[in-house]
Amino acid sequence: MASLITCSHCGPRPKEEFTVKGDAAIARPAADASEDAWYAYVYLRDNPRGRHKEYWHHTSGCRRWLVVERDTVTHAIYAVADAAAQGETA
Ligand SMILES: [Zn+2]
């Protein structure tokens, strides 16, 4: 795991200040979507190999939600953006 995450508000910070909250590519279904769609949204996750976007919460810092694009094999970080700035909510 990368030892530093560059928070878009705080700058480079140790990874221990963050909490990983999962896949940032999952879209919330419509309120009237099927039970199967909601089951998949809540419970089913892929275990991707390679580049992947995840929600990270800067728990011990600014407490902002970030979208971190990282490689799940090498742990290289390619991009960090504020989730709200991307129109995403966690
Ligand atoms: Zn921060």
Ligand 1: centre distance to CA 74 (Å): 23
CA of 49 to the centre of ligand 1 (A): 27
CATH top class, domain 4-26+35-82: alpha beta
Q: Are 16 and 87 in contact (CB under 8 A)?
A: no
> How many whole angstroms from 18 Cα to the centroid of ligand 1?
9
> 13 CB contacts (<8 Å, ≥6 apart)?
4, 5, 6, 7, 58, 61
Mean pLDDT of the chain, nearest integer: 91
Q: Identify the pLDDT of residue 59.
A: 97
Distance from the alpha carbon of residue 5 to the mean position of ligand 1, in angstroms:
9
Q: What is the pTM of this model?
A: 0.81
Model pLDDT for residues 64-82, shown as the tens digit of each residue: 999 999 999 998 999 999 9
| Ligand 1 mean position, distance from CA 28 (Å) | 25
Domain ranges of the chain: 4-26+35-82
Q: How far is the CA of 65 from the centre of ligand 1 (A)?
A: 8
